[in-house]
Structure 1
Amino acid sequence: MFTDNKDFYPTPKHLIDKMLFDLDFNYINSVLEPSAGKGDIVKALEDIKKPIHQYGRNKYNFDIDCIEVDQNLQHILKGKNYRVVHDDFLTYDTMKEYDLIVMNPPFSSGVKHLLKALEMQERNGGGIICLLNAETLKNQFSNDRIILSRKLEEYNATIEYLQDTFLDAERKTDVEIALIKVQLPTVQRHSFIFDGLRKAAEQKEEYINTEDTQIAENNLYKSIVRQYELEVQAGINLIKEYNAMYPLIMREFGKDAGTGETIQKGGCILSLDLSRNKDKYRNELSVNNFIQEVRGKYWTALFNNPKFIGKLTGNLKTDFYNRIEDLKNYEFSLYNIYELKIEMSKKVVKGIEETIIGLFDEFSHKHYWDKDNSSNIHYYNGWKTNKSWYINDKIIIPLSGFDSFWNKYRPTDYKVKEKLQDIEKCFNYLDGGLTEAVDLEESLKFSEEYGETKNIVLKYFNITFYKKGTCHITFTNPELLKKFNIFGSQKKGWLPPSYGKKQYKDMTPEEKSVVNEFEGEKEYNKVMSDTKYYLFDGNSMNLLEDKTA
């Protein structure tokens, strides 16, 4: 692990204890570890949070974000269920506030990392604990080092030089270390309402133009991220303005018991809370709670956007939608959007294959007991079994386009529409975008409006609904249906392992017998002439590619 990452020096336990010693965690709600490595510092922080006894509450309640640039280490952190919110700390851009940044950054770029941490904490105040190569502070040969020393002096940082701290570590070094602890003061904010009244008229036109610019963005993801950033910044300004206004707009005047001076008291006239947050125990008006709720709003909006999740099946949509609460802890950024797309793409291949097999089963043996459904399949003698079949070009499934309660034809019912969409999505993956699009939802709306129950034309098949609760499907693309049957039969193990790999003339008599039963020599030769089309390989497809984004 160490040979590939020359800057990775895991922090030994005794040094972590020294770093965290004398911190008062009663005043720490959020922590950032921007060079998390394999999570040694994070583990120490998590241990501090552990309950006092088995059924007790956590001794301290704070959340921890991690950043790590090394992908191998990222996997380790995620495997430990630590929250990795970004890869490179130097490019991390967030409006979230951290009460504490604790880090052991790469020695080669320690100055830049500490300057970045100082820049973040200068916005709102907060603590920093950092390990640096002592030479960084003792030998000020660069502008960055000079600026860093001035800032540490300005904020009255404590610096302790330590010898031999890494001699018994996982990765040893005799470099002298500087342990830096600095607490930046909370930024004092003043109300801009009274001072800003005379400027309001001038700023109104500028604000409207800015808003219009945001709406006019063409790129989906960049546009929505910019809109998120605008909303968060506006909300943060409002919260901080409210906090600054609070002592100036209280309910009543009264006398101070000690001085006799007239003061405002009795609580604030105005109320500001997180109306989206239904949990009364987490309804505290704070910047971080507000950011969490806005993140949830935008992640939800993204999952409701067809351009983002349009290719997911119903089950996968539900799985990802159920992660909204966890995603509130992750910055709504291009980095995290594309990380999520990568994860979705990996799951889509597995999910779509499972859905295709589910449809293969549903179209065949699942409803074999019904005399109408028995015509769905054609039996053949498969590889090592005589219980094999493929789907015919006309099938019947139990799917009602009629609302029995209202006695009304309703093919646009959610369950009907989602089922047909899932079938279409499976064939979309198999088709690879070769077939001209037909708007399924519009076709169903047209059918409902005009009461057309028969031969409704969709992208890959026509459908007819019957009042007894069945749907007749006629596939209109025989080659795609053939591809579907090959996929299902291969996954079931009903075709020889050599199928699609060996020419017919080179097959054994046993292999030829199965192929003859399944499709015949002529059709098999057609497969061999275009295996790229007939033998589906989901891993070679960019399943979530969005050409409009």
Structure 2
Amino acid sequence: MFGTEFFPTPKSVIHKMLKKISPDASHFLEPSAGKGDIAEAIVEKKGRYTRDKVDCIECAPELVAVLMDKDFSVVGHDWLEYEGVCYYDAIVMNPPFSNGDDHLLKAWDFLHNGEIVCLLNEETIKSPHTAARKRLAAIIEKHGEVEFLGDVFSKAERKTGVNVAMVYLKKESQDDTIDLWANVTAEKAVKDDIGGDANMLAIRDNLGNMQHYYDKANEHMHMAFQHIRKAGLYLSANDIYIGQDYDKILELAYKNINDAKAEFGRKHRRDAWMHVFNQMEFHRWLDKKQREEFVRDIERNGNIPFTKENIKGTLENVFLQRGQLFEQSVANVFDELTRYYKGNTNHTEGWKTNDSYKVNKKIVFPWGCKFEKDYGRKFCTYHGANIDIYHDLDRVLCVLSGKNFKECGTIAQAMRRKFEILGRDVRQGFDNETESEFFHIKFWMKGTVHLTFKDKDLWARFNITAAKGKQWLGQQTQKEAA
């Protein structure tokens, strides 16, 4: 009914999988969720208020309907193409046995910091004869472990004779972990070499108003909860009951005011902190990886009281660390650009054109664009991961060169304009060159894109800043990068 590779996970196996996950994990993702057996087990183990912190991805429309009927959030349909923001503590998955290695590698690349538990056909582990399986074996050796479970689906809801392996991986990222929440009380003089203090001064002048509005919102929402409960009692006298037509938080308030206050307080604090950071345009210093980690920190530290003193202390910490944040952002972009180097440490099959200790003047993206051969013979879209790295690269180069990103001719814009000019029915011999603010660009039908730095000095500054962000020791590395 749901496809040839739909094999719901037995409860006993789910129990084994969840035992591997840290008890501190609070945000979960189940790709290839099926009818949500793993997601339901997580909620059963962690408590009913975990349900809104368990996201699912599922491609079969019938199963998506099942998940939504169970009140699970379905954030995507194709896991291998999913490009959403990652702030999950754990990914728990039972992917298709035919290409489980691809699904697990996607999870490893997608997760920034956390744990993964995945079921695979044991042959995926025991016969590493493909590039993907070899890469997976290297990752498991360094970051995880395997337990061979045997024929655990022989008595399952849908039976199969496949022998199964359970893979556990733990991904730790220390390079961009900065405590933004320590309360700094003393005034500090700082030199602004990246910018942003105009926004911060405006926020500091308005701190009292921020806390006043926050406190008043809390006061009146708590009063509203009392009135909602009374209204519910009057409604029930006429056989009218709060149900799906009402907002979930109103239904929660009708049942338990304390639970409603707790849920509202958590969400309100999170949104208030996000508002502060949006006001200071914090995103200008961060790449996609850091933005995801930042959202995750907001989720985890959202219980910090939203007071004038805490706002001030947090802003000062961020302001003092903005240089380090930016260097780490450049280092993250550097790592993405060198993923395809043949001897890199991420176990990714790469290209010899890119160098391990610096970004070459010419950067190669093997899948930098997409040519629709069977649909109009046109260049029309980018692969999702590459559009992020294009934007991140342009953003850090704008900061290094003193340019405004909003006014910059970006890589994505230049390629989009060129694709529109080429139009449909593109044939061999087409003009495959264009340029952006910082790069000469070439692209090919197979999807390869070459970016060549226009400015040699800017190229050198990028490599030196990346070296600082990666905390490489010695002067020789920076000298060669220049």
Whether the TM-score (by the shorter chain) exceeds 0.5 is no
- Tell me the TM-score normalised to structure 1 length: 0.37
Larger radius of gyration: 1
